[in-house]
Amino acid sequence: MTTLLYGRPPAVFDPPGAATQLSPLIPGSTPLEDLAEGSADDIMIHAPPGVLERRYALALALKALKVGGRLDVMAAKDKGGSRLKKELEGFGVEVGESAKAHHRRCVVIRPETLTGLDAAIATGAPRLVEGLDAWSQPGVFAWDRIDAGSLLLAQALPPLKGAGVDLGCGYGALATVVLGSPAVTALRLVDLDRRAIAAAKKNITDPRASFEWADARTLEDVGALNFVVSNPPFHDGGAEDKRLGQAFIRKAAGLLKKGGVLWIVANRHLPYEAELKDAFKRVDMIADSGGYKVFEAVK
Ligand SMILES: C[S@@+](CC[C@H](N)C(=O)[O-])C[C@H]1O[C@@H](n2cnc3c(N)ncnc32)[C@H](O)[C@@H]1O
């Protein structure tokens, strides 16, 4: 019997050691959408914090379970845990709830009849977002808007040249601006989120673009690119983590050739200057507005 696991539950929940991973945030995992209906015996879900993406994942998981199969879901109380029981009951199931380590845990045995699954799946599915004119999906970073940091960076960017990469490309908002420069010869779009990469592929059909579902920190330090653009993440598993952005800065330096340029935006309060000055020859702050700073750093 294969155990299916979505995300990385805290160790107190005793997640299965050998399991097929389903989270879109873990490169190489199996999409929950690909599981055959009524095929699974057991699914454990560390539920995501967004309401729409959580209900989408729960509905897909219930659909994938056999009648009599077991769904074991947990979430931190302040990250959706306190709503879990009600959300699951909305699908017509009986829920056993317990509390542990600031989480709520809900266990469900799949009954014959379920309700509301298709509506939850439709609400969390990829779509062309009205007003944004781009494909995106609930759960993707700033999925239905242009992030203010990315907008500031886009406004500050000069036309770039040569080959480059967008680290943490999301659904491709910044990459679209970069590709507006005819002097760009190639652009790699990299993101940890499978849904973001899938949306970016639909949004950008330019043959200069290529797409990588990957952890940017694991990319090879090719030392060959002309430019890097990034609005780096600063949350890991829901908690603020400045080390992520700092790792992106070091990776950008490893990817660039000498004289190559990094364009990066960051929340004002994040301490990136020291990391930039360490890894780059010249660092200039180009914009400082609305709580964000844009830096140009030359290797
Ligand atoms: C602040 S968002 C910027 C997204 C996009 N540039 C935009 O403007 O909408 C950061 C992005 O980095 C991605 N990300 C987080 N951790 C990552 C990692 N280790 N490697 C690659 N991408 C990552 C997130 O999924 C998210 O799409």
Nearest CA to ligand 1 atom 19: 215
164 neighbors 228 (Cβ within 8 angstroms) = yes
Which atom of ligand 1 is nearest the CA belonging to 146?
Answer: 9
Residue-level pLDDT at 239: 64
pLDDT tens sequence across 176-206: 999 999 999 999 999 999 999 999 999 999 9
- CB atoms < 10 A from the CB of 20, how many? 15
Nearest CA to ligand 1 atom 27: 170
149 neighbors 174 (Cβ within 8 angstroms) = no
Residue-level pLDDT at 271: 83
pLDDT tens sequence across 35-82: 999 999 999 999 999 999 999 999 999 999 999 999 999 999 999 999
The torsion angles phi and psi of 217, rounded to 5 degrees, stand at -70, -15
Nearest CA to ligand 1 atom 17: 192
Kindly give the distance from the C-alpha atom of residue 267 to the centroid of ligand 1, in angstroms, as a whole number: 14
Does position 236 have pLDDT exceeding 70, yes or no? no
Which atom of ligand 1 is nearest the CA belonging to 247?
Answer: 19
Q: What share of the chain is helix, strand, coil (3-state, %, to 5)?
A: 30, 35, 35
Kindly give the distance from the C-alpha atom of residue 53 to the centroid of ligand 1, in angstroms, as a whole number: 17
Kindly give the distance from the C-alpha atom of residue 230 to the centroid of ligand 1, in angstroms, as a whole number: 8
pLDDT band at 234 (very low <50, low <70, confident <90, very high): confident
Mean pLDDT confidence for 88-113: 97
Give the C-alpha separation, 18 to 28, whole Å. Answer: 15
Closest alpha carbon to 189 in 215, 212, 218, 156? 212
Kindly give the distance from the C-alpha atom of residue 78 to the centroid of ligand 1, in angstroms, as a whole number: 23
Percent of residues, the chain, with pLDDT higher than 70? 98
Half-sphere exposure of residue 112, counting CA atoms within 13 Å on the CB side? 0
Kindly give the distance from the C-alpha atom of residue 170 to the centroid of ligand 1, in angstroms, as a whole number: 5
Which atom of ligand 1 is nearest the CA belonging to 233?
Answer: 10
Does position 262 have pLDDT exceeding 70, yes or no? yes
Give the C-alpha separation, 191 to 211, whole Å. Answer: 8
Which structure tokens are listed for 177? 């601006």
75 neighbors 237 (Cβ within 8 angstroms) = no
Does position 237 have pLDDT exceeding 90, yes or no? no
Which atom of ligand 1 is nearest the CA belonging to 153?
Answer: 8
pLDDT band at 2 (very low <50, low <70, confident <90, very high): low
Which residue has better confidence, 238 or 141? 141
pLDDT band at 120 (very low <50, low <70, confident <90, very high): very high
Mean pLDDT confidence for 203-217: 98
8 neighbors 237 (Cβ within 8 angstroms) = yes
Q: What counts of helices (H) and strands (E) characterise the chain? A: 8, 17
Give the C-alpha separation, 195 to 277, whole Å. Answer: 34
pLDDT band at 207 (very low <50, low <70, confident <90, very high): very high
Which residues have any ligand 1 atom within 6 Å of their CB? 141-142, 147, 150, 168-170, 173-174, 190-193, 196, 215-217, 231, 233
Assign 3-class secondary structure to 96-137: EEEEECCEEEEEEECCCCCCCHHHHHHHHCCEEECCCCEEEC
pLDDT band at 288 (very low <50, low <70, confident <90, very high): very high
Give the C-alpha separation, 259 to 132, whole Å. Answer: 35
Percent of residues, the chain, with pLDDT higher than 90? 93
Mean pLDDT confidence for 257-267: 97
Mean pLDDT confidence for 111-122: 97
Which atom of ligand 1 is nearest the CA belonging to 193?
Answer: 25
Give the C-alpha separation, 92 to 109, whole Å. Answer: 11
Which structure tokens are listed for 97? 């709830």
CA–chain centroid gap for 169, Å, is: 9
pTM score of the predicted model: 0.96
Residue-level pLDDT at 241: 76
Kindly give the distance from the C-alpha atom of residue 245 to the centroid of ligand 1, in angstroms, as a whole number: 10
Which atom of ligand 1 is nearest the CA belonging to 171?
Answer: 9
